[in-house]
Structure 1
């Protein structure tokens, strides 16, 4: 009995010490925010529907810039276009760093143009920008690839014969094929087993990375990494993708012609450091804009689009909001246009 009482008093004393010493000293130098608890931070203040809803509520009380403790880690949140512009545009150099994302850190380990920082990131970014430019970023060659893919997309949509379809997979396929044509030097058939497997792995991993369980893992990764969870499934998926890319790199190495690079992999193998510096902005922004324009106009030229739900009743609430935003599932009809309707429009 005495041992039990002593144990209880020891635990109680420890909790009291944490309560009075658990608030970081740096809190007074950070923007205002909800008062954190020891170890848990602001977890109990969070909305169960996700971090985004919680942050929007905090914004109402503390303004566009506030501090939230994700577990024991303080995080400064920027809300609103003005605050974000001041940080990412007006002070782009100071805010060009990328914070670690615990759920994928064991795979990337600070490498890659998305997750790297410092000189490693600058060198890889210079290489990537120059390579995209060499392959005609925003020029005719890339537009030709997009136009070719747009025609393949039209043929697939015609197969629906105007019926109700979920186009998300097809849209993923056409955009992925543009990337594949630049990185691997070829596009894939939409039913290619290897292509389908890679798309499935990317889609599942992105959803898992943006899930609530991954957000919880981000808070307490030092503990949760020792237990089963979505982080292990993400690791397995990304390792399989890495293996696929590794095999492709080896095939490129065996057939490499330094005088005539075929794609980004060839260029990576030939030259890595002969390029210039840039800010942290989406490397494929120019390609993405061209894709949006050409895919959208091609669809409108060939189809009339209708939805089973009235526009004012469409629910845009995302499935998940985390590292990325997962859009809701939806269905629409692509009714092929007749020649007369094309001429009128």
Structure 2
């Protein structure tokens, strides 16, 4: 018999509350940013809406301010909420905040390799190598633009095959940016019905062994990160980042244009005035097409494709604001509060290209336009993605009028879940030749 006369459930309850008390006291120590008290083992999971984590993070910011600490399980996470604090971390102290935070689901896949999820010296070497290689293949030069222009014309031919019938654009819009990456890495594109291409589209990660040519003479360098497994993962990163993000943005963009016929009318007017119907659009047209440029920017702002951003981590102990962040602390510099800042973008919940136009109709830049993040770990393929989005959307609208299957006012633009990415809902539309 228990000497204090306590039952087993009572003993368990005492032990639990003792552990909870020690846990809470432990987390009250130190100089971490404030935040909700975590429970043992599960942290703050119960305080998050797992179907919309970004919204939960914004709600916590209302209580704890622009920098706060939460725990996902036992993992400590510092959240940065707002442009000023994100800039202070990723730009002003970018060398300290440039490591990659852990995401267990991706760690199992990437194992810290490639350009997206690598750390430290490995990441520096791989990023430097990737940027150099992309430049050698024509990144930022006319040769890349010519490849995008060629693919845009192929995309138009595929869309013509739909003969104006209701079509789900997901597959076709995925093929176009994927083929651009193929033309960079393989020096060739694929027909959209090519069996190898279809296989590649379905199994990007597993089938990157097609990229089997040898790379630089690095086997004798013991400090090199250029082993074949690492290069394969880097190539897979290029495919995933260069295909899925652009494809999703294009799908979401067409859906928003369907929802707003007045936007489509203005796009057509500017295209007809600047380019006409016979000339192939080029990137230099962007400077003379402020409205189309504003639409492309507003699409990226509004869809908020990567609401949480990818996690960073600090490379050493650092005094940040009035707090101390220990080495290795995972940091989420959220993109949602920056892209939806009501002071920078009035009525941010509304899709409105005027957010990027001044009173005279000229294109207006904004430091808050951060869909590719900022700082040393910003998207390495930003220049290519921006070129693709402008040329693909412009070429599609040059050749087609987009027609909704039903009433445009009833089109839903909301996705069911918002996790790491915001994926557009499935829909159909008609591509009517102009």
TM-score normalised per structure 2: 0.58
Matched residue SS, 2:211: helix
Given that residues 110 and 117 in structure 2 are in contact (C-alpha distance below 8 angstroms), is that contact kept between their aligned partners in structure 1? yes
Pairwise mapping of residues 185-204 of structure 1 onto structure 2 (< 5 A)?
Answer: 185-201=187-203
Residue of structure 1 equivalent to 2:107: 105
Q: How does 1:63-142 map to 2 (within 5 A)?
A: 63-142=65-144
CA contact (8 A) 1:52 1:321 kept: yes
**Aligned partner (choices 198, 211, 215) of residue 248 of structure 1:** 211
Residues 192/14 of structure 1: CA separation in 2 closer, same or farther (3 Å cut) = farther
Cα deviation for residue 8 of structure 1 reads 3.9
Name the count of aligned residue pairs. 278
Whole-angstrom distance in 1 between the partners of 2:90 and 2:17: 41
Would you say the 8 A contact 2:400–2:432 is kept in 1? yes
* Structure 1 stretch displaced more, 175-184 or 325-334: 325-334
CA deviations 1:239-289 (Å, max 9, x no partner) are xx24x223431xx24xx999xxxxxx9xx79xxxxxxxx922211111111
Listed one character per residue, the Cα deviations across residues 160-192 of structure 1 (whole Å, up to 9, x for unaligned) are 122222212211110111111112332222122
Separation in structure 1 between the aligned mates of residue 10 and residue 46 of structure 2, nearest angstrom: 26
SS at match of 1:170: helix
Which residue is equivalent to 2:421? 324
2:113 is paired with a residue whose SS is: coil
Residues 86-111 of structure 1 show CA distances to partners (whole Å, capped at 9, x for unaligned) of 22223222221111211121232111
Show the counterpart of 1:22: 23
When residues 177 and 26 of structure 1 are mapped into structure 2, their CA distance, relative to the original with a 3 A threshold, is farther
Is residue 333 from structure 1 mapped to residue 430 from structure 2 by the alignment? yes
How far apart are the structure 2 equivalents of 1:312 and 1:31?
A: 44
Question: Bigger relative contact order, structure 1 or 2, given CA contacts below 8 A and separation 6+?
Answer: 2
Distance 2:385 2:124 in 1: 22
Instruction: Give CA deviations for 1:119-150 in whole Å, capped at 9, x if unaligned.
Output: 11001111111111111112111111111111
1:150-299 to structure 2, matched below 5 A, reads 150-201=152-203, 241-242=205-206, 244-249=207-212, 252-253=213-214, 279-299=376-396
- The equivalent of 2:303 in structure 1 is none
* Structure 1 unpaired stretches of 5+: 203-240, 259-264, 270-277, 338-345
Do the aligned partners of residues 247 and 7 (structure 1) sit closer, same or farther apart at CA in structure 2, a change above 3 Å counting? farther
The alpha carbon displacement at 1:68 in A equals 1.6
State the shift of 1:313 in Å.
4.8
- Post-superposition Cα deviations, 1:22-47, rounded to whole Å, max 9, x if no partner, equal 23446652222222111121122122
Q: Is the 2:51–2:419 Cα contact (8 Å) retained in structure 1?
A: no
Shift of residue 6, structure 1, vs aligned partner: 6.7
Secondary structure, counterpart of 1:29 in structure 2: coil
Task: Summarize the Cα distance change of 1:190–1:87 in structure 2 as closer, same or farther, 3 Å threshold.
Answer: same
**Map of 1:51 onto structure 2:** 53
Could you say what the CA RMSD is over the residues aligned between the two structures, in angstroms?
2.9
Residues in 2 aligned to 1:293 and 1:84: alpha-carbon distance in whole angstroms: 27
Q: Is the 8 A contact 1:138 1:290 kept in 2?
A: no
DSSP 3-state at the match of 1:320: coil
TM-score by length of 1: 0.72
Following TM superposition, by how much is the alpha carbon of 1:10 offset from its aligned partner in structure 2, in angstroms?
Answer: 5.1
Q: Corresponding residue for 1:303?
A: 400
Who is 2:149 aligned against? 147
CA distance in 1, matches of 2:28, 2:100: 21
Partner residue in 1 for 2:269: none
Determine which structure has the larger helix proportion and give its number.
1
Assess if the C-alpha contact under 8 Å between 1:320 and 1:327 holds in 2. Answer: no
Offset, 1:311: 5.6
C-alpha contact (below 8 Å) 2:35/2:70 kept by paired residues: yes
Q: Quote the offset at 1:318 in angstroms.
A: 2.6
> Residue 10 and residue 198 in structure 1: after superposition, are their counterparts in 2 closer, same or farther (change >3 A)?
farther
